[in-house]
Structure 1
Amino acid sequence: MSWFESFVLGFVQGLTEFLPVSSSAHLRLASAFAGWPDAGAAFTAITQIGTEAAVIIYFRKDIARIVSAWFRSLTDRSLRADHDARMGWLVIVGTIPIGVLGILLKDQIDTSFRDLRVIACTLIGMGLVLGAADRLAARDESGGRHRAGRELRSLEELTVRDGLVYGLCQALALVPGVSRSGATISGGLLMGYTREAAARYSFLLAIPAVLASGVFELKDAAGSGGTPWGPTLLATVVAFAVGYAVIAWFMRFISSRSFMPFVVYRILLGVALFVLVGTGVLSPDAGPAGG
Structure 2
Amino acid sequence: MGWLEAIVLGIVQGLTEFLPVSSSAHLRITSAFFFGNDAGAAFTAVTQLGTETAVLIYFFSDIWRLLKAWCVGLVRREDRGYDFRLAWYVILGSLPIGVLGLAFEDAIKGPARNLYLNGAVLVIFGLILAAAERYGRQRRGPDQLSLRDGLVMGCAQAMALIPGVSRSGGTITAGLFLGLERAVAVRFSFLLALPAVFASGLTQIPDILDPTSADVQGGVVVFPSVAQMIVATLVAFVLGYASIAWLLRFVENHTIYVFVWYRVLLGLIVVLAVSNGVVPAT
TM range (shorter): over 0.9
**Aligned counterpart for 2:276 among listed residues 275, 279, 287:** 279
Q: Residue 208 of structure 2 aligns to a residue in which SS?
A: helix
Give the CA deviation at 1:197.
0.7
Whole-angstrom distance in 2 between the partners of 1:224 and 1:76: 47
After alignment, is 266-275 or 45-54 more displaced? 266-275
Aligned to 1:144: none
Q: Percent identity?
A: 50
Whole-angstrom distance in 2 between the partners of 1:236 and 1:70: 30
Aligned to 1:149: none
Aligned to 1:147: none
Whole-angstrom distance in 2 between the partners of 1:215 and 1:18: 19
1:133 aligns with 2:132: yes
Give the CA deviation at 1:36.
3.6
Give the CA deviation at 1:7.
0.6
1:201 aligns with 2:200: no
Give the CA deviation at 1:222.
3.5
Q: 1:10 to 1:203 in 2, by over 3 A?
A: same
TM-score (norm 1): 0.91
Give the CA deviation at 1:220.
4.0
Letter of the structure 2 residue corresponding to residue 237 of structure 1: L
Show CA shifts across 1:97-145 (max 9, x none).
00100000100110000000110111001100110011124xx46xxxx
Q: Residue 252 of structure 2 aligns to a residue in which SS?
A: coil
Aligned to 1:95: 94
Q: Following TM superposition, where does structure 1 have runs of at least 4 consecutive aligned residues deviating by more than 4 angstroms? A: 223-227
Aligned to 1:117: 116
Unaligned runs of 5+ in 2: 213-222
Show CA shifts across 1:159-187 (max 9, x none).
22221101000000000000011100010
Give the CA deviation at 1:223.
4.8
Letter of the structure 2 residue corresponding to residue 258 of structure 1: T
Q: How does 1:1-291 map to 2 (within 5 A)?
A: 1-80=1-80, 82-137=81-136, 140=137, 152-224=139-211, 228-285=225-282
Contact (CA 8 Å) 2:48, 2:201: kept in 1 or not? yes
Letter of the structure 1 residue corresponding to residue 158 of structure 2: A
Whole-angstrom distance in 2 between the partners of 1:158 and 1:209: 20
Whole-angstrom distance in 2 between the partners of 1:66 and 1:19: 24
Q: Residue 269 of structure 1 aligns to a residue in which SS?
A: helix
TM-score (norm 2): 0.93
Show CA shifts across 1:42-73 (max 9, x none).
00000000000000111111011001111111
Whole-angstrom distance in 1 between the partners of 2:20 and 2:224: 28
Unaligned runs of 5+ in 1: 142-151, 286-291
Q: How many residues align?
A: 272
Give the CA deviation at 1:218.
1.2
Whole-angstrom distance in 2 between the partners of 1:15 and 1:221: 22
Contact (CA 8 Å) 2:45, 2:204: kept in 1 or not? yes
